[in-house]
Structure 1
Amino acid sequence: MSSKEIRARIVDYSLEDGSLKRSLDLREILTGKRVISCYHYGEGAAAICDDGSISFLSLIGEVLLTTRVKGEDRLGTVPDLVCHTPEGLFVLVHFPSLMSTSLSISVLDSRGETVFHLDGLTRVSTTGSGSKVIALGSSGRAGQETLHLFDLSGGKVNTFSTVIEKTRSYTLSSSGKYILALHESAGGGFGVAMYSLDE
C-alpha cells in the first residue's frame, strides 16, 4: 500500500465560459497532513492521508469532518480505496495492525460514519460494475472459506455470503457476473468451479 504524497487540488470552473473560479491546494487546507489519494463524490471530495485518516471536504474547500476507519490505529496500515459509489459510499481495505495477516474492510458514508465493517479477509476485489465488491475470508472449516458479496447499489450495503472450497486463485468474467475459481483438492489435484454473483 503506497504512501507517496500527491499534489491534489479542488478546482472549480465556470459553466458559462469555462473560466477558473477557484483553485484550492489540499496541502494548504489539510495542514500537517500528507495526502496520498483523493476522490470526488457527489458534492464533495474525500482525501486519504498517510496517517490513516480520511477527510471529507466540500467543493469550496471546507473540511466537513476527519475520521478513521473502524479498528484503525497508529500502527495500522494506511487504507486503500477499493471503490466509491455515486451515493457517497467509500469502500476501504487495510491491515488493522502491522502484525495482522488478514485484511479488514470498512464502508464509510459521506458523513464519515462506518456503515459496515468486516475483519478476517484474505482477498478483496471489485466486480467491475462499481457497485459490487467480492471478498474471501475464513469460514472456520478446514479446506473451505467464505465468499462474500457486497452490493452497494442504492446507497445501502447488502451482503451475501456462502461457503466454498478453499480457493487457490480466481478470476472474474468480463461481465463481472461470474467468478471462475481454481480449487486445490485434498488429494493434490485441482478443480474448477464457477459461481454466479447474481444469486
Structure 2
Amino acid sequence: VGVGKEPVDLVPDDQVDRFLADAHKLISTYYTLENPTAFTPESCELRVEVDLTEDDDDPDRVLLRGFVDRIDVAPDGRVRVVDYKTGRSPGESFESRALFQMKFYALAIYRLRGIVPARLQLLYLADGQSLIYTPEKAELDRFAKTLTAIWKAILKAGATGDFPPKRSRMCQWCDHKAHCPEFGGTLLPYPGWPSSPGETSHAEAVSE
C-alpha cells in the first residue's frame, strides 16, 4: 500500500499473511450479500457536512461532518445509504446504537438534498448479516433535536469540566485507569475548553 510513491507500512511483516487472509474472507462474505456489478453507486466515501443550528444568532453551531461509505440512487430517485462493518452484527439490544450512526448520515443527506433516504443498510462482513432500516421525516426531525441537545450538553460539560466516567466493557482496553475515579484513580487537572471554535485551549497551547 502506498501514498504517492512513498510506501506506508500498515501491517507488520509477520502479520501480512493473516491480514490478507482476513481481508479475503471479508470480501468473500461481501459477495454473498450483494452483487456489486448489479448497480452503480452514486458515490463512495462521500464527505458530508451540514449545520443543524436553528437560530442564526446562536454562536454554538451544531455541525455534522462525516464520510458515508456508499450512496445508491435508484432510477426513480430513491436513495439508499450503505455502511460496511468488518465486525459482527449486534445483538437485538444493541441495534439502536448501530442505527444511530446511520440516522446521522440519513439526517445529513436529508438536510443537504431535501430527500429522506428510502433505506439505511448496514452490511456486517464478519458474519454475513445485514441490518436494514427505513427512516421517516418526522423521526429525522426529532433526531436533529436530539443531536442538538447532545452537543449543548457537551459544551456545558466542556465549560465546567464535568465529564462523569461510565464503566463499560470497553474499560478493559483502557490505559488510563490510574486517572479514572471508577477505578480509584486520580483525575488529572482539567486543561480547559475553547470558548469559541477558533480559540486555542490550554491543552493545545501546552502541546505547542
Indicate the TM-score class for this superposition, using the shorter chain for normalisation.
under 0.3
Q: Which has the higher helix share?
A: 2
- Higher relative CO (CA 8 A, sep ≥ 6), structure 1 or 2? 2
Normalised by the length of structure 1, the TM-score is 0.25
Q: Which has the higher strand share?
A: 1
